A and B are shown apart, each in its own frame.
Chain A
Amino acid sequence: MSEVENKVVPVESEEKDYVEDGKNKLIVKCKFCGSKILDKKSAKYITLEKELPLMQQDNNRKEGEIQNESVNEFYHVENMYTFENIGFTHTVANCKYLSCADCDAGPVGYYDMETKHSYVAISRIVHA
């Protein structure tokens, strides 16, 4: 393989084996029950920094406290009907959280009320 060829390949898809042409190469599924969330090649791979509540909150946390973690790899879904199966929570601070439609695990991402775009956290799903 020549170096010239390598240069035309976008950096991201070169690094991530689950990304092809800037999109999810594989089907996106729930980590816990395998429910199909996105069809292959239906969402854009993006990096952005976002604080998401942990899927499992510590039972000993202070009342009203929410434990977050920083997530930085997402699949960007512009139209909510692109999803195969997904749940949307009630609105919290201008966003809805995404959850598995079959087992309710989540948040697996969030939905921005202003732009109406959804973002699926890659660390919280599996590829198949």
Chain B
Amino acid sequence: MAKKTYDLLFKLLLIGDSGVGKTCILFRFSDNHFTTTFISTIGIDFKIKTVELRGKKIKLQIWDTAGQERFHTITTSYYRGAMGIMLVYDITNEKTFDDIVKWLRNIDEHANEDVEKMILGNKCDMEEKRVVSKERGEAIAREHGIRFMETSAKANINIDRAFSELAEAILDKTSGREADADHARIAVERRPSRAPPARACCS
């Protein structure tokens, strides 16, 4: 058995209506400098990315829903083992934003209760077509005590940052759990996780 070359492994999922750009978050063929015809035909199942946080080497395994975006098809088995969920809507499509609430309910029903969530308003490079304001995104995130960020997979805005922040949030939780392992589990009041300071995503 080869020695372990990392400290932690986090499984992350991308969830949201179809067309919000989940696949582009995972698979950026659109703005590629050359066309990987073969890979784009088959599509990506998952990726492994390595990040370093607080001196720890963390492997992220990131899964796409691969077109099974209807609520009834995403059930417990899909969520199994997931430690983080990126909940994605499209800022140019009202319905995808409205569905965030349904997705949150689906997560509550099927995912591990302490799964770390983050809401992403994607396609923020398409300002002229925007129908969901950033404030509304921030508001719903605040209401549910979830982190929020606007991203553009196409323009590669905030994508890496979103993954690092989600990983960091899981790390916070994990290290807390390790430290408390000897004690009986006490329900600790969850600090309402503030949405990160609004950073202008696209000008």
Contacts and interface: CB of A to CB of B under 8 A. Distances in A.
B38 A106 contact: yes
B79 interface: no
Given A39-B5, A103-B28, A85 B50 contact: yes
A56 interface: yes
B37 A103 contact: no
Given A79-B2, A81-B9, A82-B2, A87 B47 contact: yes
| Interface magnitude class on chain B | 20 to 34
Contact of B5 (A42, A89, A102): A42
A96 interface: yes
Interface string B44-65: 1111111000000001010000
A32 B39 CA distance: 15
B49 A101 contact: yes
A101 B66 CA distance: 17
Interface residues of A, number: 37
Interface string A65-103: 010000000000011111111111111100011010111
Contacts of B49: 85, 101
Contact of B42 (A42, A79, A84, A90): A90
Interface in B15-30: 26-29
Contacts of B37: 56-57, 59
B36 A99 contact: yes
B203 interface: no
A97 B27 contact: no
A7 to B, nearest CB: 28
A55 interface: yes
B38 A87 contact: no
B56 to A, nearest CB: 14
A96 B44 CA distance: 9
Contacts of B42: 89-90, 92, 97
A57 B37 CA distance: 6
Given A42-B5, A81-B9, A86-B48, A54 B38 contact: yes
A105 B43 contact: no
B48 A104 contact: no
Contact of B45 (A85, A89, A106): A89
B38 A53 contact: yes
B43 A89 contact: yes
Most buried by B among A55, A85, A87: A87
The 6 closest A-B pairs by CB, nearest first: A89-B42, A87-B47, A57-B37, A84-B50, A106-B39, A53-B38
Interface of B: 2, 5-6, 9, 26-29, 32-40, 42-50, 59, 61, 66
Interface of A: 32-33, 36, 39, 42, 53-57, 59, 66, 78-92, 96-97, 99, 101-107
10 contacts: A78-B2, A81-B9, A86-B48, A88-B48, A89-B42, A89-B45, A90-B45, A97-B39, A103-B28, A104-B28
